[in-house]
Amino acid sequence: MGSSSENVKIITASKEQAVFLRKKVSLLRSVSFLIGTIIGSGIFISPKGVLMNSGNVGTSLVIWLACGILSMFGALSYAELGTSIKKSGGHYIYLLETLGPLPAFVRLWCEIIVIRPAITAVVGLSFGRYIIEPFFAPCQAPVLAVKLLTAAGVSLVVYINSCSVNWTARIQIILTIFKLLAIGLIIVPGMMALSEGRTENFQNAFDSNTITLDRIPLAFYSGMFAYSGWFYMNFVTEEIINPERNIPLATISSLIIVTILYLLVNVAYYTVLTADEVLASGAVAVTFGERTLESFTPVIQVLVSLSCLGAITGGLFAVSRVFFVASRENQWPTLFSMIHIRHHTPLPAVLLMYPLVILMIFIGDLYGLLNLNSFPRWLFMGFVTLGLIRHRYKQPDIHRPFKVPIIIPGIFTVMCLFLVVMSLYSDPINTGIGCALTLSGVPVYYLIVSRPHGPAWWRKALYIFTLKLQILMEVVQQEIVTY
């Protein structure tokens, strides 16, 4: 009896000391993580992009609602995948399990060279602009100052993600509260103005003379960018407590909340500002604040900047797990599947994106970056839900704790592929660059990944280099299987 008790204590102690990614993401943390990641810079910069490409106020509001519904279809599909495929890694692991190694690697390649650096740079530049502009008002802040501050903010986020999962989760909850406060400071004055009868900006809301159908996909891109983030829980499945319950609950409730908030924010914008004022504004939330809150405008700017910082924090936390899983699946160098021996964070995977993000911050343009990354992002989301349909028919006996009607992933797949094809016509330059960068992953896969055994000298050099970095970073392979 005593011996058995001692054995249990030894096993418990050894597990406590073992190096692996712990389950620390509860339902509350999941919801705050999702809301905090979805509500980033999008709702504060995308209204201009949606209006510019949709042509009028009425169509733009319809697109905001349609983007919310389309995101919900995608989220429900991903919730099914997340509860039936228990590995972390999101898009990457679902493509690997349903469509095979080539699509999975190309998605990983795009994440590294296009999607993640571009998105982080877009949100980061919004952070830098919003936080520094109060100090230069009424003049415009110097571009270099915005970029330097952005780089500092991203560096701070990388440091926090490197040090602690708990601290990342706690900071995300705090930043989510701040961003909901920012949303409230827009919705409340807007609804008050609407209740006073200020509806003149909604007259002729659906003016057909201003609609350009070929640009509607770009309006969807701007809207969907504001909703993007609903899939991030699937990136960290192995770290979620009770994922079969918490992934669907967190995803659905978060998207419902965000869709309602986004519609109210846009109605508030258009109640106070004309369409021309929205289009002329460099920062819609700030222009709105100047009109309604006057001396409190800097408060909105600071809250919006903190909102952007929260989105970067959640995005980096999630996407580092994609690189971690890809390395574990032997499609990326071994170093990136290693975990810090004390902090229990995937340190090499967290640091991977840092240099490229900084580069894009200093060379990138906000809307160009947005359209550039949208092509591969929505192309592969369509492939993921196509993979779900294939998985249903190829492996019908797999236990699926959460199951959606097949029409939902079907509609999401068709819409994603339609948007991708139409965007090639609407913005051939940026979308074409995104397409070319996507296709560049194919030769990389066949030349390097599918033939991992290179010359003996190369394998030895790589092993020594990995060992040196492993010692420098204090990282080791995961010691306990978490899926």
Q: Specify the CATH number for the domain of residue 473.
A: 1.20.1740.10
With respect to residue 28, please indicate whether it lies within any of the assigned structural domains. yes
CA distances to 107, 343, 348, 445 from 104, rounded to whole Å, are 5, 29, 20, 10
Angle of helix 216-227 versus helix 407-426 axis, rounded to 10: 120
With respect to residue 182, please indicate whether it lies within any of the assigned structural domains. yes
CA pair distance 289, 297, nearest whole angstrom: 5
Residue matched to tokens 């999630």: 318
Helix intervals (H) in 395-455: 407-426, 428-439, 441-444
CA pair distance 88, 337, nearest whole angstrom: 12
With respect to residue 196, please indicate whether it lies within any of the assigned structural domains. yes
Q: What is the mean pLDDT of residues 107-135?
A: 83
Judge contact between 329 and 134, C-beta under 8 A.
no
Q: 165 Cβ partners below 8 Å, 6+ apart?
A: 21, 22, 24, 239, 317, 344, 345
With respect to residue 453, please indicate whether it lies within any of the assigned structural domains. yes
Number of domains in the chain: 1
Residue 454 is predicted with a pLDDT of 67
How far is CA 119 from its chain centroid? Answer: 8
Q: 469 Cβ partners below 8 Å, 6+ apart?
A: 335, 348
Residue 467 is predicted with a pLDDT of 92
Helix (H) or strand (E) holding 476: strand 475-477
> Could you list the residue range(s) of the whole structural domain that residue 388 is in?
23-477
Going by pLDDT thresholds of 50, 70 and 90, the confidence category of residue 210 is low
Lowest-pLDDT range, 257-271, 273-287, 336-350?
A: 273-287
Residue matched to tokens 């996507």: 438
Amino acid at 67: C
Closest CA relative to residue 425, chosen from 162, 215, 257: 215
- pLDDT of 1 above 50: no
Q: How confident is the model over 147-200, as pLDDT tens digits?
A: 899 999 999 999 998 988 888 888 888 888 888 888 898 899 999 998 888 888
Residue matched to tokens 């050099």: 461
Return the percentage of the chain with pLDDT > 70, whole number. Answer: 91
